[in-house]
């Protein structure tokens, strides 16, 4: 028979996020002139006691004398504390309520406020061991019961000893007095609880650091709110990912490791071994050989648009879900396009350059308003369609052409052929994707079909324009202005020279592929990618995935979710359902989506399952990965 387990839990900064006497001080001293100084001293004395630097009794006596608290303050304190219970305790409230006799509160704080807070979790008053206040006849708190063991130095071990608990004793706490129980030999294990505060002196002496209650419950294979504690999910972020993204993943409770630079294949092969989530930008190559070592990897976040630096096929084979941020910089590209259109229509690049050379050339020649002109947008996707809306607001007429059926926004007119568009537009802006068939899609023939004196923009991909032809048409004056942000061959780094026949041509704005490079876009990316990853980890949702079939799943309450990833072969769903039926499990929801390579099946069941069913589901042929949520 399994040994009975008793969990001895500290109250201040463990069960709750705060030190209750600090809060009582804030309430009692609210109108007191020396409030700030008194609260500072209460905190200081608390810490000195916690770290074992002054005796516990000294610390308690001093704090009570500064407090000036009264019985009437206690209901206010209890209300505040109820809202300040540590997140992982709140998350596991129902679990504690099911077996409250296993949980004890052992605190140097006071029963007067602890019992009302923990009783919401089903913990009985007889399982609460703490001090008692002493009041005078007006209800003022004037001291504490000095006969209570817990008011003495080393009180916690003495209290546990006196309980003579039958079975294993495990202690969770953030302070030195909690460790003393283990030190005195009355506990099997001491967990340094670090969800709210981290005290190195305490962590060093602990058997195990517990960043939350989930970790302790997981460690003991007990029922719990989360199937897998989030702190056990290791995240590796490379290439200086925006701090907003780092913070978001940390706040979720993951253990996040950050590296400013990229990593070579060899370095990454080593670093990836125990990583569950990898975040990269465009410089890190996630090759097949890296993935061979990535046995815990669940997801890769590409904090950029492109994903060709990642071996997507191999990721799929291993059940690793890849996300990117395709729309986060759309607005940035659109704003740059609008700015360039206005600058080029006024011949500003040349005018500004001439001024810097000392030349004053005041003239309206080749300067036009954009109002009433026609812009032709080729590629009416995310960027093209948003440009359409913004262009109309500054008075441009919009015509567009897309190979796919795209609904017109605002008053835009959809051209049936590209030729039709080329014959109508005064300004032509390219926003097609970089698929191979689009190589040189704008060349000699297309330039020759344009009107006289057009402004031309390419902020899409370098290889879609024949640069030689563009150069010729600029030199001939047929194109009166051009904005080019992307090039067939771009320098590898900021140290390499930019070589192009477009250099030095009149009224041409050349920019180093910065259409999407704004701080706002970086922040959007840092927001979007972690959200997708967290959704995937928490609900199984694959919405926005680059290499998994996309499913947006409902969040689930009071059920378990089985996630099964398999190679796309016939009969797997039937096989899953056969196993579930054999174990008499009631399916409350099931979702299946496949792509050419893999199938993704989500099954929600409404009651507890035994481990056998998991083993059998994992054994189904063609299974790549299996995960249980909740
Ligand atoms: P998207 O995929 O949403 O839209 C592309 C559209 O082009 C689609 O509607 C597609 O049907 C259409 N299309 C493809 N080939 C075509 C053709 N031959 N003729 C007509 N239409 C065609 O892409 P999104 O997000 O709007 O991006 C557009 C381009 O902008 C991409 O090439 C992307 O790489 C580039 N980009 C450039 C940035 C920069 O820093 N300069 C930043 C972000 C994106």
Please name every residue paired with 458 in a beta bridge, in sequence order, or none if there are none.
430, 484
Q: Which amino acid residue places its CA nearest to atom 28 of ligand 1? A: 431
Q: In the structure, what pLDDT confidence band is assigned to residue 366 with cuts at 50, 70 and 90?
A: confident
Task: Identify which of 184, 187, 190, 209 has the alpha carbon closest to the alpha carbon of residue 198.
Answer: 209
pLDDT digits (tens, 9 = 90+) for 233-270: 999 999 989 999 999 999 898 999 999 888 999 999 99
Any idea what DSSP says for residue 127? Answer: G
Residue indicated by tokens 């089985």: 562
Cβ–ligand 1 distance for 433 under 6 Å, the answer yes
> What burial class does residue 73 get, using C-beta atoms within 10 Å of its C-beta: 0-12 exposed, 13-18 middle, 19+ buried?
buried
Pairing of strands 454-458, 560-567: unpaired
Ligand 1 atom closest to the CA of 306, numbered from 1: 34
Residues 41-60: tens digit of each pLDDT: 988 998 887 777 888 788 88
Nearest to 13 by CA among 43, 52, 54: 43
pLDDT reading at 397 higher than 60: yes
At 494 the pLDDT is 81
Q: Are the beta carbons of 111 and 132 closer than 8 angstroms?
A: yes
- For residue 228, give the nearest of 265, 191, 254 by alpha carbon: 254
Residue of 378, 379, 405, 490 to test ligand 1 pocket, by largest number of atoms within 8 Å of CB:
379
pLDDT at 619 over 50: yes
Query: Is residue 462 within 6 Å of ligand 1 at its C-beta?
Result: no
Say if residues 191 and 170 touch (Cβ distance below 8 Å). yes
Q: What CATH number does domain 554-629 carry, 3.40.720.10, 3.20.20.70, 3.10.310.10, 3.30.70.260?
A: 3.30.70.260
Residues 6+ apart with CB under 8 A from 449: 419, 422, 423
CB of 441 closer than 6 angstroms to any ligand 1 atom: yes
Q: Is the CB of 272 under 6 A from ligand 1?
A: no
Residue 322: what pLDDT? 97
Cα angle: 250, vertex 256, 262; to 5 degrees: 130
- Dist. CA 548 → ligand 1 center (Å): 22
Q: Establish whether residue 486 lines the binding site of ligand 1, counting it when its CB lies within 6 angstroms of any ligand atom.
A: yes
Helix, coil or strand: residue 107: strand
Mean pLDDT of 26-44: 89
Which residues 6+ apart lie within 8 Å of 56 measured at CB?
A: 49, 108, 152, 153, 154, 155, 177
Pocket flag, ligand 1, residue 109 (CB < 6 Å): no
Residue with the two structure tokens 């890190």? 284
Q: Which of 233, 234, 188, 187 is nearest to 214 (CA)?
A: 233
CB 212 within 8 A of CB 88: yes
The answer to whether the CB of 434 is under 6 A from ligand 1 is yes
Confidence band of 2 (pLDDT split at 50, 70, 90): low
> Which of the two residues, 546 and 366, has the higher pLDDT score?
546
Assign a CATH topology to domain 330-517: Rossmann fold (3.40.50)
Residue pLDDT, tens place only, 178-236? 999 999 999 999 999 999 999 998 999 999 999 999 999 999 999 888 888 999 999 99
Domain 233-323 and domain 554-629, same fold? Reply is: no
The first and second tokens of residue 144, run together, are 């504490």
Tokens of 349: 């690049």
Mean pLDDT of the chain: 93
Residue with CA closest to ligand 1 atom 4: 381
pLDDT tens-place string over residues 299-317: 999 998 888 889 999 999 9
CATH classification (class only), 5-219: alpha beta
Closest CA to 443 of 463, 429, 423, 461: 463
Residue nearest to atom 37 of ligand 1 (CA): 460
User: Phi-psi region for residue 155, left (φ > 0), alpha (ψ -120 to 50) or beta?
Assistant: alpha
What spacing in Å lies between the alpha carbon of 453 and ligand 1's midpoint?
25
Ligand 1 geometric centre to CA of 382 (Å): 7
Q: Nearest residue CA, atom 18 of ligand 1?
A: 438
554 vs 586, residue with greater confidence: 586
Ligand 1 touching residue 333 (CB < 6 A): yes
**Cα–ligand 1 centroid distance for 493 (angstroms):** 24
Separation of CA 447 and ligand 1 centre (Å): 20
What's the Cα-to-Cα distance from 213 to each of 7, 94, 218, rounded to whole Å? 11, 13, 9
Closest CA to 430 of 455, 452, 459: 459
The reported pTM is 0.75
How does strand 508-510 pair with strand 427-430?
unpaired
- Residue 272's pLDDT is 97
CA distance 214 to 194: 12
Q: From the alpha carbon of 432, which atom of ligand 1 is closest?
A: 7
Residue 290 has pLDDT above 70, yes or no: yes
Could you state, in order of their start, the residue ranges of all structural domains in the chain? 5-219, 233-323, 330-517, 554-629
pLDDT at 487 > cutoff 90: yes
Residue owning the nearest CA to atom 16 of ligand 1: 432
Q: Looking at ligand 1, which atom is closest to the CA of residue 381?
A: 4
Q: Is 503 left (phi over 0), alpha (psi -120 to 50) or beta?
A: beta
485 Cβ closer than 6 Å to some ligand 1 atom? yes
For the Cβ of 381 lying below 6 angstroms from any atom of ligand 1, the answer is yes
For ligand 1, whether the C-beta of 401 sits within 6 Å is yes
The finding on whether 446 has its CB within 6 A of some atom of ligand 1 is no
Give me the pLDDT at residue 1, please. 43
CA distance 427 to 344: 10
> Strands of 413-414's sheet, edge to edge?
413-414, 397-401, 374-378, 427-430, 454-458, 479-484, 508-510
Determine what percent of the chain is predicted with pLDDT higher than 70.
99
Q: Is the CB of 297 under 6 A from ligand 1?
A: no
Alpha carbon of 515 to ligand 1 centroid (Å): 13
Looking at the DSSP bridge assignments, the partners of residue 235 are 256, 277
Q: Which atom of ligand 1 is nearest to the CA of 486?
A: 41
- State how far the Cα of 627 lies from the Cα of 341, in Å rounded to an integer: 51
- CA 364/CA 367 separation, integer angstroms: 5
- Write down the H helix ranges in 296-405: 312-317, 330-345, 348-356, 382-393
Atom of ligand 1 nearest to the CA of 327: 25
Residue 557 has pLDDT above 80, yes or no: no
Q: How far is the CA of 384 from the centre of ligand 1 (A)?
A: 7
CA of 524 to the centre of ligand 1 (A): 19
Give 432 Cα–ligand 1 centroid separation in angstroms: 3
Could you say which DSSP state residue 55 is in? -
Which active-site residues does the annotation give?
461, 490, 513
**Assigned fold of 233-323:** Rossmann fold (3.40.50)
């Amino acid at each position: 028979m399994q040994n009975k387990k008793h969990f001895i839990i500290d109250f201040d900064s463990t069960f709750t996020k705060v030190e209750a006497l600090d809060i009582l001080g804030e309430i009692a001293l609210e109108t007191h002139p020396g409030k700030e100084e008194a609260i500072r001293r209460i905190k200081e004395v608390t810490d000195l006691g916690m770290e074992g630097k002054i005796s516990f009794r000294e610390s308690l006596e001093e704090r009570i004398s500064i407090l000036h608290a009264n019985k009437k303050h206690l209901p206010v304190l209890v209300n505040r504390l109820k809202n300040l219970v540590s997140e992982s305790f709140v998350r596991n409230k129902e679990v504690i309520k099911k077996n409250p006799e296993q949980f004890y509160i052992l605190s140097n704080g006071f029963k007067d406020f602890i019992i009302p807070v923990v009783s919401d979790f089903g913990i009985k008053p007889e399982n609460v061991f703490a001090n008692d206040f002493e009041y005078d006849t007006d209800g003022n708190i004037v001291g504490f019961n000095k006969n209570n063991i817990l008011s003495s130095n080393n009180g916690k071990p003495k209290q546990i000893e006196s309980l003579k608990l039958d079975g294993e004793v495990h202690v969770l706490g953030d302070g030195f007095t909690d460790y003393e129980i283990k030190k005195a030999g009355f506990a099997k294990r001491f967990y340094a609880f670090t969800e709210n505060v981290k005290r190195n002196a305490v962590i060093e002496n602990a058997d195990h650091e517990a960043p939350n209650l989930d970790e302790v419950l997981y460690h003991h294979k007990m029922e719990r709110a989360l199937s897998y504690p989030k702190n056990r999910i290791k995240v590796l972020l490379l290439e200086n990912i925006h701090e907003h993204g780092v913070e978001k993943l940390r706040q979720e409770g993951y253990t996040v490791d950050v590296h400013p630079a990229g990593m070579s294949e060899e370095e990454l092969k080593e670093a990836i071994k125990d990583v569950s989530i990898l975040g990269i930008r465009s410089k890190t190559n996630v090759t097949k050989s890296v993935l061979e070592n990535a046995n815990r990897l669940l997801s890769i976040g590409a904090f950029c648009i492109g994903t060709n630096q990642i071996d997507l096929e191999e990721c799929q084979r291993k059940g690793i879900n890849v996300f990117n941020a395709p729309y986060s910089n759309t607005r940035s590209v659109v704003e740059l396009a609008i700015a360039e259109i206005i600058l080029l229509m006024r011949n500003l690049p040349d005018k500004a350059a001439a001024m810097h050379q000392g030349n004053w050339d005041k003239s309206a020649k080749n300067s036009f308003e954009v109002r009433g002109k026609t812009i032709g947008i080729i590629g009416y996707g995310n960027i093209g369609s948003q440009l359409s809306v913004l262009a109309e607001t500054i008075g441009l007429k919009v015509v567009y052409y897309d190979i796919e059926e795209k609904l017109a926004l605002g008053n835009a007119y959809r051209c049936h052929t590209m030729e039709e568009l080329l014959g109508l537009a005064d300004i032509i802006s390219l926003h097609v994707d970089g698929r191979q068939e689009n190589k040189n899609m704008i060349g000699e023939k297309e330039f020759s079909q344009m009107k006289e004196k057009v402004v031309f923009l390419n902020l899409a991909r370098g290889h879609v324009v024949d640069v030689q032809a563009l150069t010729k048409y600029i030199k001939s004056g047929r194109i009166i202005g051009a904005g080019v942000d992307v090039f067939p061959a771009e320098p590898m780094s900021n140290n390499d020279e930019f070589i192009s026949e477009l250099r030095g041509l009149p009224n041409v704005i050349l920019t180093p592929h910065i259409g999407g490079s704004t701080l706002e876009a970086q922040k959007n990316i840092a927001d979007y990618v972690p959200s997708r990853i967290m959704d995937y980890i928490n609900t199984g949702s694959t919405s926005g995935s680059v290499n998994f079939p996309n499913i947006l799943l409902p969040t689930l309450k009071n059920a378990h979710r089985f996630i099964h990833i398999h190679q796309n072969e016939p009969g797997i769903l039937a096989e899953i359902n056969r196993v579930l039926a054999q174990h008499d499990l009631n399916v409350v929801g099931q979702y299946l989506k496949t792509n050419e390579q893999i199938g993704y099946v989500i099954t929600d069941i409404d009651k507890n399952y035994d481990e056998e069913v998991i083993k059998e589901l994992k054994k189904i042929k063609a299974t790549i990965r299996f995960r249980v949520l909740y």
